[in-house]
């Protein structure tokens, strides 16, 4: 097993009983998955719970794994389904409210009101996260899958179960909104 | 033309800023938990699928169904015999109840046996065709399930003892089996002059309903008793003391006993004598049909016998009576003596 083995190969090794392969695989993808849930749910505990559910599902289904696609696509497909299930069970306000709560808007505008109290870089990063937070759920998901998981438009479309044009459109709108929000910093 | 290029540059800036801003990592306990679960899953051996479960499941199920079906059918077929056994139990209880009723009636007679008409009462009880058999037999369902023996057992007898003193009566019932002998102490000596009759089961011709009797135990019991009642005869000629002694009814004779005969039949019977008894106050119960006590009474027809036919025997005297036994009318002696041929 090499450190530069693709994720699919590592998963196949784990399927065949190599636990160390899974450790490497997990270390590569754990942060992206965790942040995916964290950006969508805005709660650390929920992000931890959902992340554990996804990894547990992969562990239990290791015998049936087939490397038909990129592992990250497989991983975030499971994550997307789990997130949808979470939205269905929980208050779906976030799911159907493209514009987030007033608190989110305050957070997004807070940096603008006190630009001189923080370092400029930190101000920009905080501003960026606030803008991402304020995105509609579909656009936010597309943006996160691109930036955190490194998926292409086609892979995003596969994960979110939409066509590529829709995924591309969501991603374009998301970036446009962030760009407009960071106009003063860029 | 320049706008897309600017946007690409801005998008790269946004992506770089986001990578710097998005640095959250899952907590360490979550990592440990997930990695531990992954290792446990690898160490766990796959659950082996037993070849028996796949290869023999269907045949075993079919065999079990067949065995259960056969068992159920067998039980259903055996159920009628079980019901017959249950019927035997119920019949046994019914017969036992009838016996208890009979014994209760006999006990009632004991209190009334002080009068000389006890003999007629006893005959009435016996003629009621209720079972006078021992309860020992009736308590056994197995024996009741079997058809009752058509041929009587000479060892079975029932004794009814009535002391002649008239003040008290003792009626006992006992069953003498082949492996047991009657207790001498239970019998009243003849010197005490009790009236003794002995009932003994008789051999009777098999009736057309014999097959039905095998199936119906209760009916058979009644038939046995009726047969026994019709076959009462004196126990011993030497022990015959009609006025005093033990009334013994023996089941074993085809001739009816005198005590069971109607007045008219008793008057016409050559072996029985119809006499007037003075031991009862009631007019209807003052007459007694007993065995002919001597050669004068034997063979004498008290209804149509003439003085010549009586006195033709040596030492005999014709005593005219007053009995009127016309056809279709009750035999009435009007409380007076019937015609008798007495020994001088």
Token pair belonging to B29: 């306990």
* pLDDT tens by residue, B31-90: 999 999 999 888 876 665 565 666 778 888 999 999 999 999 999 988 765 555 555 566
Exposure string for A24-60, b = 16+ CB within 10 A, e = fewer: bbbeebbbbbbbbbbbbbeeeebbbbbbbbbbeebbe
Q: Give φ, ψ of B201 to 5 degrees.
A: -70, 140
CA A114 → CA A107, A108, A109, A127, B14, distances in Å? Answer: 11, 11, 9, 11, 21
| A153 contacts: CB under 8 Å, gap ≥ 6 | A146, A164, A167, A168, A171
Would you say residue A186 has pLDDT above 50? yes
Mutate to test the interface with A, among B6, B17, B20 (most CBs of A within 10 A): B17
Q: What's the pLDDT score for residue A55?
A: 94
Rounded CA gap, A55 and A59, in Å? 6
CA B52 → CA B56, B67, B83, B227, B248, distances in Å? Answer: 5, 20, 43, 71, 80
Contact assessment for residue A111 and residue A181, using Cβ atoms and an 8 Å cutoff: no
Q: Taking residues A148-160, what's their average pLDDT?
A: 92
pLDDT in tens, chain B (344 residues): 444 556 777 788 888 888 888 888 999 999 999 999 999 888 876 665 565 666 778 888 999 999 999 999 999 988 765 555 555 566 667 667 767 777 777 777 766 655 555 455 545 544 544 444 444 444 444 444 444 444 444 444 444 444 444 343 344 344 433 344 444 444 444 444 344 444 444 444 444 444 554 444 444 444 444 444 444 444 444 444 444 433 434 444 456 788 888 888 888 888 888 888 776 555 556 788 888 888 888 888 888 888 888 888 888 988 888 777 766 666 777 777 888 888 88
Rounded CA gap, A162 and A43, in Å? 26
Strand B272-276 to B232-233 pairing: unpaired
Q: Taking residues A146-169, what's their average pLDDT?
A: 92
Rounded CA gap, B78 and B53, in Å? 36
Q: What's the pLDDT score for residue A65?
A: 87
Question: What is the distance in angstroms between the Cα of B56 and the nearest Cα belonging to chain A?
Answer: 27
Range 68-127 of A in CB contact (< 8 A) with B: 121, 124-126
ipTM above 0.90, yes or no: no
Report long-range pairs for A143-148 (Cβ below 8 Å, ≥24 apart).
A143/A171, A143/A174, A143/A175, A143/A178, A144/A35, A144/A36, A144/A39, A144/A40, A145/A36, A145/A76, A146/A171, A147/B15, A147/B18, A147/B19, A147/B22, A148/A31, A148/A32, A148/A35, A148/A36, A148/A39, A148/B22
Range 42-81 of B in CB contact (< 8 A) with A: 42, 46
Range 24-63 of A in CB contact (< 8 A) with B: 26, 30-31, 34-35, 38-39, 44, 47-48, 51-52, 55-56, 59-60, 62-63
Q: In this complex, do A182 and B35 lie within 8 Å of one another by their Cβ atoms?
A: no
Which residues of chain B make contact with A121, given a CB cutoff of 8 A? 20
Q: Which domains, ranges and CATH numbers included, belong to chain A? A: 1-99 (1.10.1740.10), 102-186 (1.10.10.10)
Which residues of chain B make contact with A26, given a CB cutoff of 8 A? 31, 34-35, 38
Q: Is the overall model pTM greater than 0.95, yes or no?
A: no
């Amino acid at each position: 097993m090499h450190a530069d083995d693709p994720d699919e190969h590592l998963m196949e090794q784990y399927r065949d009983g190599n636990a160390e392969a899974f450790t490497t695989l997990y270390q590569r993808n754990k942060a992206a998955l965790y942040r995916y849930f964290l950006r969508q749910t805005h709660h650390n505990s929920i992000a931890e719970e959902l992340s554990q559910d996804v990894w547990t599902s992969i562990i239990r289904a290791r015998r049936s794994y087939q490397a038909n696609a990129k592992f990250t696509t497989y991983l975030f497909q499971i994550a997307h389904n789990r997130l949808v299930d979470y939205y269905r069970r929980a208050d779906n306000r976030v799911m159907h409210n493209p514009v987030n709560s007033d608190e989110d808007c305050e957070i997004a505008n807070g940096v603008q009101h006190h630009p001189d109290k923080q370092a400029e870089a930190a101000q920009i990063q905080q501003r960026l996260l606030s803008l991402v937070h304020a995105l509609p759920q579909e656009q936010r998901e597309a943006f996160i899958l691109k930036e955190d998981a490194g998926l292409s438009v086609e892979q995003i479309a596969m994960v979110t179960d939409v066509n590529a044009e829709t995924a591309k459109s969501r991603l374009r709108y998301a970036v446009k909104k962030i760009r407009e929000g960071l106009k003063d910093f860029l | 033309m320049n706008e897309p290029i600017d946007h690409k540059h801005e998008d790269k800036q946004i992506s770089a800023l986001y990578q710097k801003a998005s640095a959250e990592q899952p907590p360490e306990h979550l990592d440990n938990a997930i990695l531990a679960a992954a290792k446990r899953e690898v160490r766990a051996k796959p659950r082996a699928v037993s070849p028996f479960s796949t290869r023999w499941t269907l045949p075993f199920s079919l065999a079990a169904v067949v065995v259960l079906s056969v068992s159920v059918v067998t039980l259903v077929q055996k159920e009628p015999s079980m019901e017959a056994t249950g019927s035997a139990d119920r019949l046994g209880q019914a017969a036992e109840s009838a016996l208890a009723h009979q014994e209760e009636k006999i006990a009632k007679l004991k209190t009334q046996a002080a009068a000389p008409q006890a003999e007629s009462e006893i005959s009435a009880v016996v003629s009621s065709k209720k079972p006078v058999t021992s309860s020992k037999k009736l308590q056994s369902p197995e024996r009741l399930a079997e058809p009752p023996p058509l041929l009587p057992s000479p060892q079975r007898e029932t004794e009814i003892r009535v002391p002649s003193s008239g003040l008290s009566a003792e009626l006992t019932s006992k069953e003498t089996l082949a492996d047991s002998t009657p207790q001498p102490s239970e019998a009243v000596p003849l010197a005490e002059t009790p009236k003794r009759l002995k009932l003994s089961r008789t051999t009777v011709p098999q009736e057309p309903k014999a097959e039905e009797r095998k199936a119906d135990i209760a009916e058979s019991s009644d038939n046995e008793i009726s047969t026994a009642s019709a076959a009462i005869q004196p126990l011993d000629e030497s022990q015959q003391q009609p006025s005093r002694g033990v009334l013994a009814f023996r089941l074993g004779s085809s001739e009816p006993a005198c005590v069971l005969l109607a007045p008219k039949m008793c008057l016409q019977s050559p072996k029985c004598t119809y006499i007037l008894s003075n031991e009862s106050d009631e007019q209807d119960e003052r007459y007694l049909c007993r065995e002919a006590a001597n050669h004068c009474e034997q063979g004498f027809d008290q209804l149509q016998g003439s003085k010549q036919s009586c006195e033709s025997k040596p030492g005999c005297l014709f005593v005219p009576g007053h009995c009127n036994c016309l056809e279709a009318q009750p035999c009435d002696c009007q409380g007076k003596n019937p015609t008798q041929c007495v020994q001088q």
